[in-house]
């Protein structure tokens, strides 16, 4: 019993029925003004669906009055965009017609079913009404009182059922069109890609800064040299400041609807990365050839992050080892290679390998997104990361 009565505790049950009554208010006003043509609203109102803005208004109204209890379809099942095609206009016309029909049914049910209950009670007391076409009763009898609850039960069923029916019809006729669903899917995909990009930015930038700080702090403690400690603290300070700038840029992406990609570092600033790795103890042999400033922005920014991830991996897994960095800009591609000797910390690829996880996967994904390719793994006693990014 409690389950059957549960819909009465939901606010949307009442707003849905009220939604059905709204067209009837317009019809009632028209009948009062021009009683000779009561059919006119049913003919004219649906034609308003040909106006693009009507779809938006009907969608907003349907969301507010049909979809707010969290028990039925999601609010996104109803579109609030104006009609963009003739198909959208025709669907809106059908919606207005269906709303008018269901509104007439709802008004008839809400008037006649309670009235039938009242008349059944009156018949059981000896009065036979002659103005109720649904009760052609020839004579009064007390047993009609037993039938009095049935119209109320039917009214309850119609009260709940019509509300659910109008919601289903709204989802079918006011729901997003195929073009709108594709646009929503593309927007969702862009959001997911943006979140992935932000996660990579944080992983690369903050991970690099923390790795440098940990390596420098450990080296300074082991060295016991005041001059070396000063250099280590200076490196930690510079790296931390750069990480804070990167973090501020990432937070700016979250605060703004359009991300300021021009503020992200590029390969032109690669010297900063190399110097940071040198201060952390890595022996960097770097060779940068070609006009780095002419590399397209997306390629240069992703190349910077790939180089940053490579140097971070070296510091984290190999420590103070010789590192050979080659960056070459050619006519059609950017080549980036980072090699360092394999150590006990880097036994090779696979589950037991030291250089594994989201860092290397992120390098491959960055290269793939730009139409390039990346190779990582042991090569002639070295660990290598070799990346090719097309410039066109």
pLDDT given at position 349: 39
More confidently predicted of 310 and 235: 310
pLDDT given at position 91: 92
Q: Tell me, yes or no, if the pTM score tops 0.95.
A: no
More confidently predicted of 344 and 321: 321
* 350 to 98, 347, 353: CA distances (angstroms): 62, 9, 5
pLDDT category of residue 356 using cuts at 50, 70 and 90: very low
User: Beta strand pairing status for 322-329 and 373-379?
Assistant: unpaired
- Give the mean pLDDT of 309-324: 82
CA distance 151 to 242: 75
- The pLDDT tens digits for 178-206 are 777 766 666 676 666 667 767 766 777 67
CA distance 49 to 86: 10
More confidently predicted of 388 and 233: 388
Nearest to 205 by CA among 258, 263, 256: 263
More confidently predicted of 246 and 161: 161
Nearest to 111 by CA among 49, 42, 24: 24
pLDDT given at position 166: 92
Instruction: Please give the full DSSP string across 190-229, using - where no structure is assigned.
Output: HHHHHHHHHHHHHHHHHHHHHHHHHHHHHHHHHH--HHHH
pLDDT given at position 328: 93
CA distance 336 to 384: 10
Does pLDDT of 211 surpass 60?
Answer: yes
* Least confidently predicted of 122-126, 139-143, 248-252, 324-328: 248-252
Q: Within 13 Å and on the Cβ side, how many CA atoms surround 185?
A: 7
pLDDT category of residue 37 using cuts at 50, 70 and 90: confident
Q: Are 176 and 184 in contact (CB under 8 A)?
A: yes
**How many other C-beta atoms lie within 10 A of the C-beta of residue 210?**
15
Determine which helix (DSSP H) or strand (DSSP E) holds 373, and give its type and residue range.
strand 373-379
Plot region of 377 (φ>0 → left; ψ -120 to 50 → alpha; else → beta)? left
More confidently predicted of 341 and 194: 341
- Give the mean pLDDT of 38-48: 77
pLDDT category of residue 232 using cuts at 50, 70 and 90: confident
pLDDT category of residue 129 using cuts at 50, 70 and 90: confident
Q: Tell me the pLDDT of the chain averaged across its residues.
A: 80
State both tokens at 44. 């004219």
* 83 to 186, 293, 372: CA distances (angstroms): 20, 47, 42
In sequence order, the 6+-apart residues with CB closer than 8 A to the CB of 105 are 158, 162
CA distance 382 to 375: 13
Plot region of 70 (φ>0 → left; ψ -120 to 50 → alpha; else → beta)? left
Determine which helix (DSSP H) or strand (DSSP E) holds 249, and give its type and residue range.
helix 226-255
How distant is the alpha carbon of residue 35 from its chain centre? 51
Q: Are 217 and 231 in contact (CB under 8 A)?
A: no
Nearest to 167 by CA among 72, 101, 103, 80: 72
3-state secondary structure of 114: helix
More confidently predicted of 384 and 195: 384
Q: Classify the C-alpha dihedral 280-282-285-289 as positive or negative.
A: negative
- Give the mean pLDDT of 258-271: 70
pLDDT given at position 347: 39
DSSP category for residue 264:
S
**How many other C-beta atoms lie within 10 A of the C-beta of residue 213?**
19
- Give the mean pLDDT of 51-70: 85
- Give the mean pLDDT of 292-315: 86
pLDDT category of residue 344 using cuts at 50, 70 and 90: very low
pLDDT category of residue 258 using cuts at 50, 70 and 90: very low
- The pLDDT tens digits for 89-109 are 999 999 999 998 998 899 889
How distant is the alpha carbon of residue 312 from its chain centre? 32
Does pLDDT of 294 surpass 70?
Answer: yes
Residue 29 sits at the vertex; the CA angle it makes with 116 and 48, to the nearest 5 degrees, is 110
């Amino acid at each position: 019993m409690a389950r059957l009565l549960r819909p009465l505790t939901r606010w949307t049950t009442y707003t849905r029925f009220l939604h059905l009554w709204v067209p009837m208010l317009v019809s009632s006003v028209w009948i009062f003004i021009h009683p000779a043509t009561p059919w006119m609203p049913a003919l004219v109102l649906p034609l308003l669906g040909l106006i693009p803005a009507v779809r938006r208004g009907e969608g907003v109204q349907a969301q507010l009055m049909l979809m707010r209890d969290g028990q039925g379809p999601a609010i996104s099942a109803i579109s609030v965009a104006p009609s963009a095609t003739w198909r959208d206009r025709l669907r809106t016309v059908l919606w207005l017609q269906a709303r008018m029909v269901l509104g007439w049914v709802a008004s008839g049910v809400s008037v006649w079913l309670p009235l039938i209950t009242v008349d059944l009670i009156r018949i059981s007391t000896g009065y036979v009404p002659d103005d109720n076409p649904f009760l052609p009763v020839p004579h009064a009898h007390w047993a009609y009182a037993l039938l009095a609850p049935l119209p109320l039960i039917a009214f309850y069923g119609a009260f709940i059922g019509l509300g659910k029916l109008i919601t289903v019809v709204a989802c079918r006729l006011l729901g997003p069109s195929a073009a709108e669903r594709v646009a929503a899917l593309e927007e969702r995909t862009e959001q997911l890609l943006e979140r992935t990009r932000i996660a990579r930015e944080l992983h690369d930038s903050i991970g690099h800064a923390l790795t440098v700080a940990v390596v420098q702090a450990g080296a300074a403690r082991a060295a016991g040299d005041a001059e070396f400690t000063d250099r280590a603290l200076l490196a930690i300070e510079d790296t931390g400041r750069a990480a804070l700038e990167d973090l501020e840029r990432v937070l700016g992406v979250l605060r703004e609807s359009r991300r300021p990609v021009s503020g992200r570092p590029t390969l032109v600033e690669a010297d900063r990365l190399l110097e940071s790795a040198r201060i952390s103890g890595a022996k960097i042999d770097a060779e940068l050839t070609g006009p780095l400033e002419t590399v397209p922005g997306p390629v240069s920014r992703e190349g910077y992050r790939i180089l940053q991830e490579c140097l971070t991996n070296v510091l984290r897994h190999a420590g103070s080892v010789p590192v050979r960095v080659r960056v070459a800009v050619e006519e059609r591609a950017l080549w980036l290679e980072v090699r360092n000797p394999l150590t006990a910390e880097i036994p090779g690829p696979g589950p037991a390998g030291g250089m594994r996880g989201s860092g290397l996967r992120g390098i491959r994904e960055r290269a793939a997104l730009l139409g390039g390719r990346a190779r990582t793994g042991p090569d002639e006693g070295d660990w290598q990361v070799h990346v090719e990014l097309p410039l066109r």
